[in-house]
Amino acid sequence: MPSCNLNLKFDAYFIFNTILAVAKALRRAAEGKAAAQAEAAEWKRRYELERTRNLQMERREQSLGKSNGHFEAGRLENSTNSLVLCSQSGEHSRVGSLEHGICSHEVLRDMESDFDSDTIHNKMMRKASFKLSWRCKGENSDQHKHDIVYFERGNITTAERSSKQISLKWESRPQTVLIFTKPNSSSVRILCAEMVRWLREQRKVNIYVEPRVKAELLTESSDFNYVHTWKDDNEILRLHTKVDIVVTLGGDGTVLWAASVFKGPVPPIVPFSLGSLGFMTPFHSEHYRDCLDSVLKGPISITLRHRLQCHIIRDAAKNEYEVDEPILVLNEVTIDRGISSYLTNLECYCDNSFVTCVQGDGLILSTTSGSTAYSLAAGGSMVHPQVPGILFTPICPHSLSFRPLILPEHVTVRVQVPFNSRNPAWVSFDGKDRKQLAAGDALVCSMATWPVPTACQVDSTDDFLRSIHDGLHWNLRKTQSFDGPRDS
């Protein structure tokens, strides 16, 4: 009899938990639907308002055209040289700037005064003033981009391209070099010892290496006592205040490891190719002396490689402080189904807008530097590393219409495991630090503040094109024979 009561209590407890989970899921779905409906209504309201304004402007232009006739066109042509451009405030001639945006107030005034009374309303033509506010997540941003957009007579024009080649010029001589090496490689170990000795004796710079590398150097010779290293995480956090240049000896994986050491600002990285395949390692180790001399002297072209900042938000967290530490990735963050045989079920949001529900093997959120890595193998596009954006690439989606996306740099992407998912998901960051995402957990990704500057052999575009030609043999084929059929 007691065992029967225990079974009944267990069944009741199980039913109660099931009902609670279903209610929670229904509540979340209802909230999401309400938010989506509200957003749709707002967009509809804005559309109707804009449509009404456009119709009013068309009617006004038609009425002005009928009253002026051919005289209006002739007046504009003859008075081109007598137009005066002045701002609405009377102080600036072309561009005005507000606290949270850029304004253009312009008045085109005709100085001719010998027209009859019927054309008095045409004595002054005023273009509507406007303001462009740079917004992020719906809020005004304090970051102005005067070098990207400016205004001339009320027209928006790009002044500078964000993907312009970037040059680094030293204002003082570099004093400290940090060297990262690929482990378990005898050739890399020999080159590292030779490079450390040359930098110290010939270029008189301070040398930092990893604790593992310092132990290897001291095993080879006690003369390497001048080499510095770090002892704990606190010293790692202060490395960017001591190091001027970072040198990597290895492949792309060594560059990823070097970038992961810096949680904030990253010194310029000079990557030498000693791996099997490298898209970020343009320098050859055989000429390391000439390469380092040119880098130490400057100026050098650099590529600013954007990173993603990732947070895992646990559904079981009781408050906002119970969240995992942010993780920075240079290539990609991957969410997959792990060892489960079921499809991954992931809900994806871009800022506050619902994107899609991923059903397949998983999803890749990649930087443009990582576009030639896992994302490319999953069907994503190759993107120049200085193009700011986030690649949204599904892994073996169940829907054949699910094609990859490239999202702008300013958005925040949230990927959540729904409560009705059959299995948890797994997330990895640049191929390591694998973590489990249970039902209700979410991964939030946005563009990190601190990019990774890597030195170029020529410039960023030349290095990128050479890497895909040499690394992937991109579009390599035999040239068509010239002695075939021809157009008559």
Residue-wise DSSP of 395-434: EEESSTT---EEEETT--EEEE--TT-SS-EEEEETTEEE
- What is the spatial distance between Cα 69 and Cα 118, in angstroms, rounded to a whole number? 12
The CA distance from 352 to 409, in Å, is 15
Do residues 182 and 151 make contact, with C-beta atoms less than 8 angstroms apart?
A: no
331 Cβ contact partners less than 8 Å away, ≥ 6 residues apart: 252, 256, 366, 367, 369, 370, 373, 374, 430, 431
Burial of 454 (0-12, 13-18, 19+ CB in 10 A): buried
Dig out the tokens for 229 from the structure: 């290293």
DSSP 207-270: EEE-HHHHHHHHHH-GGGGG-B---SHHHHHTGGGT-SEEEEEESHHHHHHHHHH-SS----EE
Strands (DSSP E) contained in 316-408 are: 327-329, 332-336, 344-350, 353-366, 389-397, 405-408
Peptide bond preceding 299 in cis form (omega within 30 of 0): yes
Short-list 259, 263, 271, CA closest to 302:
271
CA proximity to 269, closest of 226, 309, 300? 300
> Please, what is the Cα angle at 361 between 355 and 367, to 5 degrees?
60
Catalytic residue at 252? yes
> By the 8 A CB rule, do 97 and 151 touch?
no
User: Is the four-CA dihedral 344, 350, 352, 354 of positive or negative sign?
Assistant: negative
Angle at 255 between CA 327 and CA 189, to 5 degrees: 130
What SS3 class is residue 13? helix
The gap from C-alpha 474 to its chain's centroid, in whole angstroms, comes to: 25
Q: Using CA atoms, how far apart are residues 360 and 396, in angstroms rounded to an integer?
A: 6
Which position among 252, 336, 430, 463 bears the catalytic label? 252
d(CA 133, CA 102): 7
Residues 378 and 364: beta-carbon distance below 8 Å: yes
Amino acid in the structure at residue 357? C
For residue 473, the tally of other CB atoms under 10 A from its CB is 9
Active site residues: 252
